[in-house]
Amino acid sequence: MSTGLAGVVFVLALIATLYAAAVFADRLDHLGARLGLPESVLGMVTAAGADAPELASAIAALASGAKGVGLGVVIGSNVFNLAAMLGVSALVAGAVTLRREALALEGGVALGVTGAVCLFGFGVVPAWTAFVLALAILVPYVIAIARAGRGSPVLGEPHRRRPPHGRALWVPLATIPPALAVIVLGSVAMVHTALQLADRAGLPRVLVGTLLLAVLTSLPNAYTGVRLGRARRGSALVSETMNSNTINLVGGVAVPALFVGFGSHFSGLETAGVAWLLAATGLALALLARPGGLRRTGGGLLLASWAGFAAVQGIFG
Protein backbone atom coordinates (compact mmCIF):
# COMPACT_ATOMS: atom_id res chain seq x y z
CA MET A 1 0.00 0.00 0.00
CA SER A 2 1.40 3.38 -1.00
CA THR A 3 1.97 6.10 1.58
CA GLY A 4 -0.82 8.26 0.18
CA LEU A 5 -3.31 5.40 0.16
CA ALA A 6 -2.29 4.39 3.69
CA GLY A 7 -2.94 7.94 4.86
CA VAL A 8 -6.38 7.99 3.23
CA VAL A 9 -7.29 4.62 4.76
CA PHE A 10 -6.12 5.81 8.19
CA VAL A 11 -8.27 8.96 8.05
CA LEU A 12 -11.34 7.09 6.79
CA ALA A 13 -10.90 4.37 9.43
CA LEU A 14 -10.53 7.03 12.13
CA ILE A 15 -13.71 8.83 11.06
CA ALA A 16 -15.68 5.57 10.86
CA THR A 17 -14.40 4.37 14.23
CA LEU A 18 -15.14 7.61 16.07
CA TYR A 19 -18.62 7.90 14.55
CA ALA A 20 -19.43 4.28 15.39
CA ALA A 21 -18.09 4.77 18.93
CA ALA A 22 -20.31 7.82 19.41
CA VAL A 23 -23.34 5.82 18.23
CA PHE A 24 -22.34 2.85 20.39
CA ALA A 25 -21.91 4.95 23.55
CA ASP A 26 -25.13 6.89 22.92
CA ARG A 27 -27.16 3.70 22.44
CA LEU A 28 -25.68 2.12 25.57
CA ASP A 29 -26.40 5.28 27.56
CA HIS A 30 -29.97 5.38 26.25
CA LEU A 31 -30.46 1.70 26.97
CA GLY A 32 -29.10 2.07 30.51
CA ALA A 33 -31.40 5.01 31.22
CA ARG A 34 -34.41 3.12 29.86
CA LEU A 35 -33.57 0.23 32.18
CA GLY A 36 -33.33 2.60 35.17
CA LEU A 37 -29.68 1.98 35.99
CA PRO A 38 -28.06 4.05 38.80
CA GLU A 39 -25.53 6.73 37.79
CA SER A 40 -22.44 4.67 38.64
CA VAL A 41 -23.73 1.70 36.67
CA LEU A 42 -24.59 4.03 33.81
CA GLY A 43 -21.08 5.46 34.00
CA MET A 44 -19.58 1.98 33.66
CA VAL A 45 -21.88 1.13 30.74
CA THR A 46 -21.04 4.37 28.93
CA ALA A 47 -17.33 3.84 29.62
CA ALA A 48 -17.51 0.39 28.05
CA GLY A 49 -19.01 1.90 24.91
CA ALA A 50 -16.61 4.81 24.63
CA ASP A 51 -13.63 2.52 25.40
CA ALA A 52 -14.22 0.29 22.40
CA PRO A 53 -11.78 2.10 20.03
CA GLU A 54 -9.00 2.14 22.64
CA LEU A 55 -9.36 -1.54 23.51
CA ALA A 56 -9.74 -2.65 19.90
CA SER A 57 -6.66 -0.65 18.85
CA ALA A 58 -4.56 -1.97 21.75
CA ILE A 59 -5.55 -5.58 21.12
CA ALA A 60 -5.01 -5.21 17.36
CA ALA A 61 -1.50 -3.86 18.02
CA LEU A 62 -0.70 -6.70 20.42
CA ALA A 63 -2.01 -9.27 17.94
CA SER A 64 0.28 -7.86 15.25
CA GLY A 65 3.30 -8.16 17.56
CA ALA A 66 3.61 -4.45 18.34
CA LYS A 67 3.66 -4.80 22.13
CA GLY A 68 4.94 -1.29 22.75
CA VAL A 69 2.17 0.22 20.63
CA GLY A 70 -0.53 -1.76 22.44
CA LEU A 71 0.75 -0.74 25.86
CA GLY A 72 1.19 2.82 24.65
CA VAL A 73 -2.44 3.04 23.56
CA VAL A 74 -3.65 1.89 27.00
CA ILE A 75 -1.34 3.98 29.17
CA GLY A 76 -1.50 7.05 26.93
CA SER A 77 -5.29 6.85 26.71
CA ASN A 78 -5.66 6.61 30.47
CA VAL A 79 -3.47 9.64 31.18
CA PHE A 80 -5.28 11.57 28.45
CA ASN A 81 -8.69 10.55 29.85
CA LEU A 82 -7.91 12.12 33.22
CA ALA A 83 -7.01 15.40 31.53
CA ALA A 84 -9.67 15.46 28.80
CA MET A 85 -12.60 14.12 30.80
CA LEU A 86 -12.02 15.53 34.29
CA GLY A 87 -9.69 18.44 33.55
CA VAL A 88 -11.61 19.88 30.61
CA SER A 89 -14.94 19.31 32.37
CA ALA A 90 -13.70 21.35 35.35
CA LEU A 91 -12.57 24.15 33.04
CA VAL A 92 -15.88 24.18 31.14
CA ALA A 93 -18.32 23.65 34.01
CA GLY A 94 -16.33 25.43 36.72
CA ALA A 95 -16.22 22.41 39.03
CA VAL A 96 -16.70 18.65 39.18
CA THR A 97 -18.26 17.51 42.46
CA LEU A 98 -19.56 14.24 43.89
CA ARG A 99 -20.13 12.69 47.29
CA ARG A 100 -17.08 11.48 49.18
CA GLU A 101 -18.51 7.98 49.48
CA ALA A 102 -18.80 7.72 45.70
CA LEU A 103 -15.30 9.17 45.24
CA ALA A 104 -13.83 6.68 47.70
CA LEU A 105 -15.49 3.78 45.89
CA GLU A 106 -14.60 4.82 42.33
CA GLY A 107 -11.13 6.07 43.24
CA GLY A 108 -10.27 3.05 45.35
CA VAL A 109 -11.05 0.66 42.50
CA ALA A 110 -9.11 2.74 39.95
CA LEU A 111 -6.05 3.04 42.18
CA GLY A 112 -6.17 -0.65 43.09
CA VAL A 113 -6.32 -1.91 39.51
CA THR A 114 -3.67 0.58 38.37
CA GLY A 115 -1.47 -0.54 41.25
CA ALA A 116 -1.88 -4.19 40.27
CA VAL A 117 -0.76 -3.42 36.70
CA CYS A 118 2.15 -1.39 38.10
CA LEU A 119 3.31 -4.39 40.12
CA PHE A 120 3.33 -6.48 36.95
CA GLY A 121 5.06 -3.74 34.96
CA PHE A 122 7.75 -3.33 37.60
CA GLY A 123 8.40 -7.09 37.53
CA VAL A 124 7.22 -7.57 41.13
CA VAL A 125 4.46 -10.09 40.30
CA PRO A 126 3.75 -12.29 37.26
CA ALA A 127 0.89 -11.59 34.85
CA TRP A 128 -1.54 -14.08 36.41
CA THR A 129 -1.09 -12.54 39.86
CA ALA A 130 -1.80 -9.04 38.54
CA PHE A 131 -4.89 -10.39 36.79
CA VAL A 132 -6.16 -12.07 39.97
CA LEU A 133 -5.51 -8.91 42.00
CA ALA A 134 -7.41 -6.82 39.47
CA LEU A 135 -10.36 -9.23 39.52
CA ALA A 136 -10.36 -9.30 43.33
CA ILE A 137 -10.86 -5.54 43.26
CA LEU A 138 -13.16 -5.27 40.26
CA VAL A 139 -15.65 -8.09 40.85
CA PRO A 140 -16.88 -6.90 44.29
CA TYR A 141 -17.21 -3.40 42.86
CA VAL A 142 -19.37 -4.57 39.96
CA ILE A 143 -21.54 -6.62 42.32
CA ALA A 144 -21.89 -3.68 44.71
CA ILE A 145 -23.03 -1.19 42.09
CA ALA A 146 -25.29 -3.75 40.38
CA ARG A 147 -27.13 -4.41 43.65
CA ALA A 148 -27.37 -0.78 44.74
CA GLY A 149 -30.73 0.88 44.59
CA ARG A 150 -31.70 4.26 43.30
CA GLY A 151 -30.33 7.26 45.13
CA SER A 152 -27.76 5.17 46.99
CA PRO A 153 -25.48 7.41 49.10
CA VAL A 154 -22.53 5.29 48.04
CA LEU A 155 -23.18 5.72 44.35
CA GLY A 156 -23.72 9.44 44.60
CA GLU A 157 -26.44 11.58 43.11
CA PRO A 158 -29.99 10.30 42.80
CA HIS A 159 -30.95 8.31 39.76
CA ARG A 160 -32.15 10.27 36.77
CA ARG A 161 -35.63 9.90 35.46
CA ARG A 162 -36.16 7.51 32.64
CA PRO A 163 -36.43 9.31 29.31
CA PRO A 164 -39.76 9.45 27.54
CA HIS A 165 -40.55 6.53 25.29
CA GLY A 166 -39.62 8.37 22.11
CA ARG A 167 -37.71 5.40 20.72
CA ALA A 168 -38.52 1.73 21.10
CA LEU A 169 -36.13 -0.39 23.11
CA TRP A 170 -35.22 -2.43 20.04
CA VAL A 171 -33.61 0.60 18.34
CA PRO A 172 -30.47 0.71 20.57
CA LEU A 173 -30.36 -3.09 20.69
CA ALA A 174 -30.38 -3.31 16.90
CA THR A 175 -27.72 -0.63 16.34
CA ILE A 176 -25.18 -1.75 18.98
CA PRO A 177 -23.80 -4.87 17.14
CA PRO A 178 -23.09 -3.16 13.77
CA ALA A 179 -21.56 -0.15 15.54
CA LEU A 180 -19.26 -2.47 17.48
CA ALA A 181 -18.26 -4.27 14.27
CA VAL A 182 -17.30 -0.96 12.63
CA ILE A 183 -15.26 -0.01 15.71
CA VAL A 184 -13.27 -3.25 15.63
CA LEU A 185 -12.64 -3.21 11.87
CA GLY A 186 -11.82 0.50 11.88
CA SER A 187 -9.38 0.10 14.78
CA VAL A 188 -7.57 -2.76 13.04
CA ALA A 189 -7.22 -0.63 9.90
CA MET A 190 -6.00 2.36 11.95
CA VAL A 191 -3.32 0.35 13.71
CA HIS A 192 -1.95 -1.28 10.56
CA THR A 193 -1.87 1.93 8.51
CA ALA A 194 -0.45 3.96 11.42
CA LEU A 195 2.40 1.46 11.82
CA GLN A 196 3.10 1.56 8.08
CA LEU A 197 3.18 5.35 8.02
CA ALA A 198 5.38 5.51 11.14
CA ASP A 199 7.88 3.00 9.74
CA ARG A 200 8.14 4.89 6.46
CA ALA A 201 8.58 8.21 8.25
CA GLY A 202 11.16 6.75 10.64
CA LEU A 203 9.07 7.53 13.74
CA PRO A 204 9.40 5.38 16.89
CA ARG A 205 6.48 2.99 17.13
CA VAL A 206 6.01 3.72 20.82
CA LEU A 207 4.99 7.28 19.97
CA VAL A 208 2.38 5.98 17.55
CA GLY A 209 0.63 4.20 20.41
CA THR A 210 1.26 6.56 23.32
CA LEU A 211 0.53 9.86 21.60
CA LEU A 212 -1.20 9.38 18.25
CA LEU A 213 -3.55 6.40 18.63
CA ALA A 214 -4.05 6.97 22.37
CA VAL A 215 -5.36 10.50 21.87
CA LEU A 216 -7.40 9.82 18.73
CA THR A 217 -9.14 6.73 20.11
CA SER A 218 -9.88 8.56 23.37
CA LEU A 219 -11.90 11.30 21.68
CA PRO A 220 -15.24 9.49 22.23
CA ASN A 221 -14.43 9.31 25.94
CA ALA A 222 -13.50 12.99 26.00
CA TYR A 223 -16.76 13.92 24.29
CA THR A 224 -18.98 11.89 26.60
CA GLY A 225 -17.03 13.04 29.65
CA VAL A 226 -17.35 16.74 28.89
CA ARG A 227 -21.03 16.20 28.12
CA LEU A 228 -21.54 14.73 31.59
CA GLY A 229 -19.44 17.50 33.15
CA ARG A 230 -21.48 20.26 31.53
CA ALA A 231 -24.65 18.57 32.80
CA ARG A 232 -23.06 18.60 36.29
CA ARG A 233 -23.44 14.85 36.63
CA GLY A 234 -20.28 14.49 38.70
CA SER A 235 -20.88 10.93 39.88
CA ALA A 236 -21.47 9.63 36.35
CA LEU A 237 -18.46 11.59 35.05
CA VAL A 238 -16.03 10.29 37.66
CA SER A 239 -17.47 6.79 37.34
CA GLU A 240 -17.04 6.83 33.57
CA THR A 241 -13.50 8.21 33.78
CA MET A 242 -12.27 5.75 36.38
CA ASN A 243 -14.14 2.81 34.86
CA SER A 244 -12.79 3.67 31.42
CA ASN A 245 -9.24 3.53 32.72
CA THR A 246 -9.92 0.34 34.67
CA ILE A 247 -11.48 -1.37 31.63
CA ASN A 248 -8.48 -0.33 29.52
CA LEU A 249 -5.99 -1.77 32.01
CA VAL A 250 -7.83 -5.04 32.52
CA GLY A 251 -8.89 -5.61 28.90
CA GLY A 252 -5.80 -4.09 27.27
CA VAL A 253 -3.02 -5.26 29.62
CA ALA A 254 -4.00 -7.72 32.37
CA VAL A 255 -5.93 -10.15 30.16
CA PRO A 256 -3.63 -10.02 27.08
CA ALA A 257 -0.59 -10.50 29.36
CA LEU A 258 -1.89 -13.99 30.13
CA PHE A 259 -1.52 -14.97 26.47
CA VAL A 260 0.99 -12.55 24.93
CA GLY A 261 4.65 -12.44 25.97
CA PHE A 262 5.22 -9.05 27.60
CA GLY A 263 8.53 -10.16 29.09
CA SER A 264 9.33 -10.21 32.81
CA HIS A 265 8.63 -6.47 33.09
CA PHE A 266 7.96 -3.38 31.01
CA SER A 267 10.72 -1.35 29.39
CA GLY A 268 12.04 1.74 31.16
CA LEU A 269 9.78 4.11 29.20
CA GLU A 270 6.76 1.84 29.67
CA THR A 271 7.46 1.60 33.40
CA ALA A 272 7.71 5.38 33.60
CA GLY A 273 4.39 5.64 31.77
CA VAL A 274 2.48 3.35 34.11
CA ALA A 275 4.06 5.04 37.15
CA TRP A 276 2.98 8.42 35.74
CA LEU A 277 -0.55 7.06 35.31
CA LEU A 278 -0.65 5.94 38.94
CA ALA A 279 0.55 9.35 40.12
CA ALA A 280 -1.89 11.21 37.82
CA THR A 281 -4.78 9.10 39.11
CA GLY A 282 -3.83 9.91 42.69
CA LEU A 283 -3.59 13.60 41.81
CA ALA A 284 -7.04 13.59 40.20
CA LEU A 285 -8.60 11.91 43.23
CA ALA A 286 -6.89 14.30 45.64
CA LEU A 287 -8.19 17.29 43.68
CA LEU A 288 -11.71 15.83 43.57
CA ALA A 289 -11.61 15.29 47.34
CA ARG A 290 -10.96 18.97 48.07
CA PRO A 291 -13.81 21.13 49.42
CA GLY A 292 -15.79 22.26 46.40
CA GLY A 293 -14.46 19.41 44.28
CA LEU A 294 -12.23 19.66 41.22
CA ARG A 295 -12.16 23.30 40.14
CA ARG A 296 -10.59 25.10 37.20
CA THR A 297 -7.14 25.30 38.79
CA GLY A 298 -7.18 21.56 39.38
CA GLY A 299 -8.40 20.98 35.84
CA GLY A 300 -5.40 22.95 34.60
CA LEU A 301 -3.09 20.76 36.68
CA LEU A 302 -4.51 17.60 35.10
CA LEU A 303 -3.97 19.07 31.64
CA ALA A 304 -0.41 20.00 32.62
CA SER A 305 0.11 16.43 33.83
CA TRP A 306 -0.81 15.06 30.43
CA ALA A 307 1.39 17.63 28.69
CA GLY A 308 4.32 16.56 30.87
CA PHE A 309 3.62 12.91 30.13
CA ALA A 310 3.53 13.61 26.39
CA ALA A 311 6.78 15.57 26.60
CA VAL A 312 8.59 12.76 28.42
CA GLN A 313 7.33 10.18 25.95
CA GLY A 314 8.26 12.39 23.01
CA ILE A 315 11.78 13.11 24.27
CA PHE A 316 12.73 9.60 25.35
CA GLY A 317 10.58 7.64 22.91
| Domain range summary for the chain, segments of one domain joined by + | 3-316
Supply the pTM of this predicted model: 0.82
Q: Give the residues across from 294 on adjacent strands.
A: 96
Alpha-carbon distance of 105 to 137, in angstroms, equals: 11
| Higher-pLDDT residue of 293, 143 | 293
Exposed / middle / buried, residue 9 (Cβ in 10 Å: 0-12, 13-18, 19+): middle
The mean predicted confidence, pLDDT, of the chain is: 82
Among 268, 267, 269, 274, CA closest to 130: 274
Average pLDDT over residues 246-251: 92
pLDDT score recorded for residue 263 = 60
| Higher-pLDDT residue of 172, 114 | 114
Q: Is the pLDDT of residue 179 over 70?
A: yes
DSSP 8-state symbol, 162: P
pLDDT score recorded for residue 314 = 83
Tell me if the domain spanning 3-316 has CATH number 1.20.1420.30.
yes
Q: Is the pLDDT of residue 156 over 90?
A: no
Q: How many Cα neighbours within 13 Å face the side chain of 279?
A: 11
Average pLDDT over residues 307-314: 91
pLDDT score recorded for residue 300 = 96
